C-alpha cells in the first residue's frame, strides 16, 4: 500500500505532536509537585537524554526501514522466529487501550473550556465540588464530551497522514507553543516566577525517594510516546533522505521544552496565589481554575488559552495513539480507511464508557479490579507494565534481531561512527536493563 509521505517539518511536528500531550501539561506538573520538584526533574531529564532518545531513535529506525504497519515492520526484519516476532508487533493495540481513558480526560478539558466561558469556580470547595461532581456523578456529560473527542480524532484520521495528521499538527503545534510562551511572558511579571524556577531546577536530593525515581523513569517513556508503535508508523511515512537522528533530537527537545514551559507557567501561578504544589491529579483541574477566576476578565482569557492549549496537546497525541491500529487494519486486513477508523473509534469509545462508569458512584462497585477502579487499573497497567514491555521489545529487536549492518547503514551517515557505537551500546544493554528495572520495581516493590 502506497502511503503519502510527510514533509520533514511535518514529520518532526507530528512526532512532537504525538509526544507532547496530556503527559506534559497535566501529568508532568502534578507528579513534579507530588515528588518534590528539582531532583525529580533532574532524574526525568537524565533519563530522557540517556535512554529516551535512544529508544525513540530505535523506534523511528524500525518504522523507516519497514515502511509499513507495526506487525509487518517486526516481521520484515526478523531473521528467525518470524511468527513470534510478528506477535510482538501487536503492541500497537496498547494505543487503543490508552485511548479508553485518554479520550475521557480530553473530554474533561472540553468541559473546562465550557466552564471558562460560563464561569469558573472561585473557592477551593467549589472547585473540588465541580471536579468531583463531573468525575463521580455526571456520566452523561463525560460520555458526550468523550464522544466529541472521538469524533474530532476520527475526522482527522480519515483524512490520512498528509491531509489530516500532518496538516492538523502543522497548525496546532506552533499554536500550542505560542500559547504557552504567551502565558509564560505573562507569568514573568509575578514575584513567584523565580520561585517556580528554583522549585523546578534546584535539586534537593534529600527529597528523592525510590518511588520518585521509578515515576520519573516511567514518565519519560510515556511522555516520549515510546513503545507502542505511534512514532514507528509516523516514521514509516518518512521520505527516503530524512535524517532520523536529528529528528529524534528535535522531538525529545520539543517534548521536554514544552513540559518545562508548562511547569514554569503552572507553578508561577500556583505560588503567586498560594496554591499547593502537591495536589495530585486534580492540580490543573482544581487549583488552577480558582486562580484564573481571581484574575477577572484577564483570567477568563488565560483560562481559555490554557485549556485550549491542553486540548490541542491531547488531540495531537490521541491521533497518534489510534493511527497504528488504523494502519494495521488497512494494510493487513485490506480494510478501507473509513472502515478502519470507524471500528477503532468504536472500540475505544465503547470501552471508554466502561471507564467512565467505573468511576461513577452508582456503578463503580460493578467495575472494580481488586481495590482499583477499572480506570485506575488500566492507567496503572499502561504506565508500569505495557509501555515498558513495548520499549523492551523494540530495544531487543533493534539491538539483537536486526542485522547490525542494516541498522548502521541507515544511521551512521546521520550520526557518525562514534555516536553510533554509543547509541548501539545503549540500545543493547542500557535501555533493556533500565526498562527491566522499571517494570520490576513497579510490579513488585
Ligand atoms: N506522549 C503522550 C503524552 O505525553 C502520550 C502517548 C503515549 C501518546 C504513547 C502516544 C503514544 O501525553
Residue-wise pLDDT for 370-416, tens only, equals 888 899 889 888 877 788 889 989 999 999 999 999 999 999 888 98
Domain 8-444 has CATH 1.10.4160: yes
Q: Is the CB of 18 under 6 A from ligand 1?
A: yes
Residues shown for the chain: 445
Residue-wise pLDDT for 44-68, tens only, equals 999 999 899 999 999 999 999 999 9
Residue-wise pLDDT for 306-353, tens only, equals 899 999 999 999 999 999 999 999 999 999 999 999 999 999 999 999
Atom of ligand 1 nearest to the CA of 21: 12
Rounded Cα–Cα distance for residues 403 and 387 (Å): 25
Mean pLDDT of 141-153: 97
Whose Cα sits closest to atom 7 in ligand 1? 225
Rounded Cα–Cα distance for residues 215 and 213 (Å): 5
Q: How far is the CA of 305 from the centre of ligand 1 (A)?
A: 21
Pick from 18, 93, 322, 378 the residue to mutate for probing ligand 1's pocket: most ligand atoms within 8 Å of its CB: 18
- Residue 3 is predicted with a pLDDT of 63
Angle at 298 between CA 295 and CA 303, to 5 degrees: 85
Pairing of strands 372-373, 368-369: antiparallel
Q: Is the CB of 19 under 6 A from ligand 1?
A: yes
Q: How far is the CA of 316 from the centre of ligand 1 (A)?
A: 9
Pick from 320, 382, 391 the residue to mutate for probing ligand 1's pocket: most ligand atoms within 8 Å of its CB: 320
Percentage of the chain surpassing pLDDT 90?
Answer: 57
**8 Å CB contact between 156 and 165:** yes
- Residue 445 is predicted with a pLDDT of 63
- Residue 105 is predicted with a pLDDT of 94
Q: Is the CB of 302 under 6 A from ligand 1?
A: no
**8 Å CB contact between 294 and 302:** no
Pick from 17, 21, 256 the residue to mutate for probing ligand 1's pocket: most ligand atoms within 8 Å of its CB: 21
Residue 116: pLDDT band with limits 50, 70, 90: very high
369 DSSP β-pair partners: 372
Residue-wise pLDDT for 7-55, tens only, equals 888 899 999 999 999 999 988 998 898 888 999 999 999 999 989 999 9
What is the chain's mean pLDDT, rounded? 90
Among residues 2, 1, 8, which one has the least CA distance to residue 240?
8
Q: How far is the CA of 18 from the centre of ligand 1 (A)?
A: 6
**Residue 263, CA atoms < 13 Å, CB-side half-sphere:** 29
Among residues 359, 351, 432, which one has the least CA distance to residue 393?
432
Domain locations in the chain?
8-444
93 grid coordinates: 493495540
Residue-wise pLDDT for 217-265, tens only, equals 878 888 999 999 999 999 998 888 889 999 999 999 999 999 999 999 9
Q: Is the CB of 22 under 6 A from ligand 1?
A: yes
- Residue 371 is predicted with a pLDDT of 84
Residue 368 has phi, psi (to 5 degrees) of: -105, 145
Residue 1 has pLDDT above 60, yes or no: no
Rounded Cα–Cα distance for residues 420 and 175 (Å): 35
Amino acid at each position: 500500500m502506497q502511503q503519502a509521505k510527510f514533509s520533514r517539518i511535518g514529520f518532526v511536528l507530528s512526532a512532537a505532536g504525538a509526544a507532547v500531550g496530556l503527559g506534559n501539561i497535566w501529568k508532568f506538573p502534578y507528579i513534579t509537585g507530588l515528588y518534590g520538584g528539582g531532583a525529580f526533574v533532574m532524574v526525568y531529564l537524565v533519563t530522557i537524554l540517556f535512554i529516551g532518545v535512544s529508544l525513540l531513535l530505535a523506534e523511528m529506525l524500525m518504522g523507516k526501514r519497514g515502511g509499513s504497519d507495526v506487525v509487518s515492520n517486526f516481521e520484515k526484519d526478523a531473521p528467525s522466529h518470524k511468527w513470534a516476532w510478528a506477535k510482538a508487533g501487536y503492541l500497537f493495540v496498547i494505543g487503543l487501550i490508552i485511548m479508553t481513558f485518554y479520550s475521557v480526560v480530553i473530554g474533561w478539558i472540553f468541559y473546562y473550556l465550557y466552564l471558562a466561558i460560563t464561569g469558573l469556580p472561585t473557592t477551593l470547595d467549589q472547585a473540588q465540588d465541580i471536579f468531583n461532581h463531573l468525575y463521580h456523578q455526571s456520566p452523561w456529560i463525560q460520555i458526550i464530551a468523550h464522544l466529541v473527542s472521538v469524533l474530532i480524532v476520527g475526522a482527522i484520521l480519515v483524512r490520512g497522514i498528509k491531509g489530516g495528521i500532518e496538516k492538523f499538527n502543522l497548525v496546532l503545534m506552533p499554536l500550542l507553543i505560542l500559547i504557552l510562551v504567551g502565558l509564560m511572558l505573562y507569568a514573568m511579571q509575578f514575584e513567584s516566577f523565580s520561585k517556580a524556577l528554583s522549585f523546578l531546577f534546584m535539586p534537593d536530593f534529600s527529597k528523592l525517594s525510590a518511588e520518585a525515581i521509578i515515576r520519573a523513569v516511567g514518565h519519560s517513556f510515556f511522555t516520549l510516546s515510546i513503545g507502542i508503535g505511534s512514532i514507528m508508523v509516523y516514521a514509516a511515512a518518512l521520505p527516503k533522505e530524512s535524517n532520523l537522528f536529528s529528528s529524534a533530537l528535535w522531538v525529545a527537545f520539543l517534548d521536554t521544552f514544552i513540559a518545562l514551559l508548562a511547569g514554569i507557567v503552572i507553578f508561577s501561578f500556583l505560588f503567586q496565589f498560594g496554591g499547593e504544589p502537591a495536589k495530585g491529579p486534580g492540580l490543573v483541574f482544581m487549583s488552577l481554575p480558582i486562580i484564573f477566576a481571581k484574575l477577572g476578565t484577564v483570567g477568563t482569557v488565560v483560562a481559555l488559552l490554557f485549556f485550549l492549549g491542553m486540548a490541542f496537546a491531547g488531540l495531537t497525541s490521541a491521533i497518534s495513539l489510534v493511527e497504528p491500529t488504523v494502519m494495521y487494519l488497512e494494510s493487513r486486513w485490506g480494510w478501507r480507511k473509513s472502515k478502519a477508523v470507524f471500528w477503532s473509534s468504536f472500540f475505544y469509545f465503547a470501552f471508554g464508557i466502561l471507564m467512565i462508569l467505573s468511576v461513577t458512584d452508582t456503578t463503580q462497585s460493578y467495575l472494580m479490579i481488586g481495590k482499583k477502579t477499572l480506570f485506575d487499573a488500566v492507567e496503572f497497567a499502561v504506565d508500569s507494565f505495557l509501555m515498558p514491555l513495548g520499549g523492551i521489545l523494540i530495544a531487543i529487536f533493534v539491538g539483537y534481531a536486526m542485522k547490525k549492518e542494516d541498522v548502521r547503514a541507515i544511521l551512521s551517515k546521520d550520526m557518525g561512527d562514534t555516536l553510533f557505537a554509543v547509541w548501539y551500546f545503549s540500545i543493547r544493554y542500557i535501555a533493556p536493563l533500565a526498562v527491566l528495572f522499571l517494570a520490576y520495581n513497579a510490579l513488585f516493590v
